[in-house]
Chains A and B, each alone.
Chain A
Amino acid sequence: MPANSFSRRSPLARFNAAFTGVLLALWPEEKKSWGCAFAAESAAIDSPQKQFRWLLGGLPVVLREIFTKFLGSLGRPIGVGPADIAGNGSQQGRSPRTPRVVLALLSLTFIALLAQPQTRTVFRSVSQAYSEAGWDSSRWPDVRRLQILAEENLQQKNRDPQLLAFASLLYSDEQKRLAFADAAIHADPSLAWIDLQNAILPWDDTTKQHTLSAKRIDRMLAADPGNGILHLLRAESISIAYQRKDAQADPNANRIASWGKGALRDAGWLAAMDATFKAPYYDAYDAKLFQLSREVVQRYSVSDPRIPASVLGRRPLDQYQAIRTYADMLLSRAADAQRSGDIQSAIADCTLILDFAQHVRTANLYKLEAWMANDIESQAYPVLQSVYEGSGRSSEAIGIAARIQENRAQRAAFSSTLPHFSRRVSRPWSKAERAALFMQGSVLAIWILLPVSLASVIL
């Protein structure tokens, strides 16, 4: 029976004809003649079943040829076809010479990197850093997730106080912040310190800001009575009314010069500041906040680095103005005491400032406090030196002179690392800044190179 006659009748024969066409189309161009040879043999087979078996055997041959062609293409430079290699045309052209295999490996590396959730989060964070929405933490997916987890946790019997405390810092809404902080402290009273992060609220609207209620400040002080910063918070709750009045009277006045004129006459503020300076230590709870962030981030697999950064990088309380104002008052009082011959009182006031500066410097992680300590020391040392010199205690005056030199050296070091205080000095980049630049550059490179390399390999 002629082959054409059964191919018109049998469904399998019709399938075989289509199958032959597919196989022939799949054969790589350079080996097409072998495809034709294979197809021609199939046309000569009389039985549709035998023909099908023959064609089925051709499938792995075709796939193998396609794979061999793909492997061969990896070794060729981009833009150079197999015919160019055969005809040596590529050797003379000016087309790029990066082999496809390099780009294939590059693409695989990028895909492997993208498979990591942390990488995707970094991509998202870096990309969003360039958009307005990127700075709005309420739109970060991990913030939303933590908030939902915290809200669910609040309904449960077994609460996670650390989650609730951390989540309280992720809300801009004052009521929610305080409610979560309360729930966390209720579940674990040792977390009372978390309220320091709510010292001034709302933190995103300066026109409506107020300090924590006296009840909450008392709760913190009851849990940590020796901490100077909590007494400072109490002083701030008194001075805020005076600050507002000063600002209304003269909005253009230098804040530090006009700040707290009323507060300096307020016995409550003076007592709170005295307690601040005399407290045995001064702790802004950076270490506790860092530990809390680390535990929550690990426990709930938070991969967005912006979240701990946004929580850790904020100072809830403006410490400097009150401290500097009170230190200036003490120095003025010391100068008066010196003039009136009360050397012991003058020395006591200066020493109080210097001891306080030491507490501020040693207990905190950030440079802001170290700079603040340096600043009030730089005011107190010359006064103390003058008191010692005036009272004939020259050896102690010489010791203070050495401390003044030390203080100036520290100040110069701050000037080179804090741009705010020396805009004209070009400073070297920190490790974190270099790492951030590297990360952003890598993200940009991957965004550009991934589609280019994929297109080069596929096309």
Chain B
Amino acid sequence: MKVNGKPVSAQIEARTLLVTLIRENLRLTGTHVGCDTAQCGACTVLMNGRAIKSCSIVAMQAEGADILTIEGVARPDGTLHPMQQAFKENHGLQCGFCTPGMVMNALDFAKSHPDPSEHDVRESLEGNLCRCTGYHNIVKSIMAGAKAMGGKI
């Protein structure tokens, strides 16, 4: 499979979750684990362009897939992606732990919602928990980020 555009391979136990492969084998620790019931969304990555919870599939299911993690979102020169920039400008993060999952989920959402309403954004966050921000500024960030993206990642 490819992760952030680079081909990767690893010898793993059959029960290894995708998130474990990403964090432990590939040492891409920006993808986080916040729960054990697929509720919090901190582990969200894009698989073939769709947001998925990487704690909810075993790594072997992703064989051959194209995975994008938070480490692959900024431009190669380090410039923040418009969605990341929107989170920064709107103070859409505090402790930062849920943030990668929020950004990854928002990227998928914004592809099909270039100018979302507050209500749409709140609905899109059903699967992502944040304990710091009260969601207020996350919602603002995603509305601004989606506009800036214009429907394209």
Partners in one complex: no
Q: Which residues of B contact A (CB under 8 A)?
A: none
